[in-house]
Amino acid sequence: MENQPRTHNNRMPQDARISQHKIGGVYDSIAPLYDIWGKLTESRARDRALELADIRDGQNILEVAVGTGIAFLEIVKQNPSGTNTGIDLSPGMLKKATHRLQPLSHHNYTISIGTAFQLEQTDNSVDTLVNNYMFDLIPFVDMDKVIIEFKRVLKPGGKLVLVNMTQGEKFGSHIYERIYRISPRTMGGCRGVELSNKLFTHGFTIHSREYYQQMLFPSEVILAEK
C-alpha cells in the first residue's frame, strides 16, 4: 500500500486494473475512435502541455506513449531539424500516428514500438520528454520504475512534461472514476492519478501542476525539471 498515495482530498485512489501486457491490444481496438475522445476531453490539457514544453528547433525530443500522434505532430513541426522520437506499445495507435505524420515525412522523426519501462535513449541525452495520459494506466507499484527511466534519459536541466487523468477536483468530474470502477475497459484502462509528489521524491523540480476539466474529464498538466 505504500506505493498507493492518498489524493489531495484524502481519498484512496483506484489502482490500474488492465495489465501492461494487455494494454497494447486494448489500444489497438480503441485506436479508430481515440481521436474523437481526445478532442472532446483532453485537448485543452494536451495543448497546455505543448505550450509548457516550449520546444525549440534543434532539440532532442522524446514522446513516450505517442498514441495516434496528436501532440507529436505539433512537436515535429516545432522541431523540424532536431531529433524527434515517438514510441508506444500499441501498433494500432502507431499506425494512425504514422498516417498523421505523413505530411511531415521530410522532417527528422521516428515512430516505433517501445515501452516506457525500457527506453532506447542513452543517459542524459533528451532535452524534453513528453508523456501524455500514460501514468493513469500504470500500476502504482510500477510507477517508480518508469520515473527512474525518464530521469535516466533526460539531460540535467531537461524538461519532463506530463499529462495524466487525475482525481476530480470540481463538480461532476467523479463520474469517470465511477465508470472505471464498474468497467475499466470503458475508460481505456485510465483512472485518476497525481504524479507531482512522486516526481519530487525522485529529485525532480516541479515548476507547475495545473488542473484542467473538459467535458467533466479531469486532467493534470505537470512541468518538471531534472
Ligand X SMILES: C[S@@+](CC[C@H](N)C(=O)[O-])C[C@H]1O[C@@H](n2cnc3c(N)ncnc32)[C@H](O)[C@@H]1O
Interface with ligand X in residues 146-205 (CB under 6 A) = 188, 190
Q: Which of 13, 24, 25, 139 binds ligand X (CB under 6 A)?
A: 24
- 91 three-state secondary structure: helix
Q: Which residue is nearest to ligand X (CB)?
A: 67
SS3 call for 67: coil
Instruction: Please report how close the Cβ of residue 181 comes to ligand X at its closest, in angstroms.
Output: 18
DSSP helix/strand/coil, 146: helix
Binding residue for ligand X, selected from 62, 89, 119, 143, defined by CB under 6 A: 89
Q: Which of residues 66-85 bind ligand X (CB under 6 A)?
A: 67, 70
| Sole binder of ligand X in the list 7, 115, 124, 196 (CB under 6 A) | 115
27 lies in the binding site for ligand X (CB under 6 A): yes
- Smallest distance from ligand X to CB 62, Å: 11
Least gap, CB of 42 to ligand X (angstroms) = 6
Contacts of residue 155, defined as CB under 8 A and 6 or more positions apart, other chains included, come to 124, 125, 126, 127, 226
Residues with Cβ within 8 Å of 38's Cβ and at least 6 positions away in sequence, in order, are: 46, 67, 68, 70
Residue type, 77: K
Spatial contact of 71 and 100, defined as CB atoms under 8 Å apart: no
